[in-house]
Amino acid sequence: MRYIAYDRVSTQKQGRSGLGLDDQRRMVQRFLRDDDERVVEFTETAARRLSRNASFVMVLRNSEVDFRACDLPDANTLTMGIMASFARHEAEQISKRTRAALAQTKARGFILGKPENFTHSHRTQGVVVIQENARVHPANRQAGDGRALE
């Protein structure tokens, strides 16, 4: 049988270090039999998760490409399609929850974004908020009046 290997990692740092890729390549090697041939190997870094792309898995299935996952060798196109659909749904739910949490955080007056993009007034306001939280937080008030030791 002839195979095309596909390896991926989530971050550029993982891609540079090889963390995760080496393990994936060993997994592919263990999967292959002596008479199998690895035709080519694709490696992606910081790419969308193939496993969450149900339409891509279905395109493979419809084009009669025999798709195998080395970490799930008994899976077939039906189970891979179902798993990809569930993974995609979960990714959408995570995205919705993250957007809702960020909206709540912003509504509470927090400024979102990278600190290097903050203006001087944003940084000053952040220090004021941190100091105020430290003054009024119940645990800090309790520790300051000695009751924490009782």
Q: What is the mean pLDDT of the chain?
A: 83
Confidence of residue 149 (pLDDT cuts 50, 70, 90): very low
Q: What pLDDT was estimated at residue 104?
A: 94
- Cα(124)–Cα(114) distance, rounded to whole angstroms? 15
Tokens 């997994």, located at residue: 27
SS3 (DSSP) at 106: helix
Task: Tell me the pLDDT tens digit for each residue of 99-122.
Answer: 999 999 999 988 787 777 778 888
pTM for this entry: 0.53
Q: Which amino acid is at 116?
A: E
| pLDDT cut 70: percent of the chain above it | 89
Task: Tell me the pLDDT tens digit for each residue of 79-102.
Answer: 888 888 888 899 899 999 999 999
Domain residue limits, the chain: 1-47, 50-107, 111-145
Q: What pLDDT was estimated at residue 98?
A: 94
Task: Tell me the pLDDT tens digit for each residue of 49-85.
Answer: 666 677 877 787 788 777 788 888 888 878 888 888 8
Q: What pLDDT was estimated at residue 40?
A: 92
- Cα(144)–Cα(148) distance, rounded to whole angstroms? 8
Q: What is the mean pLDDT of residues 20-46?
A: 90
- Cα(32)–Cα(87) distance, rounded to whole angstroms? 26
Q: Among positive and negative, which fits the CA dihedral 127, 133, 136, 142?
A: negative
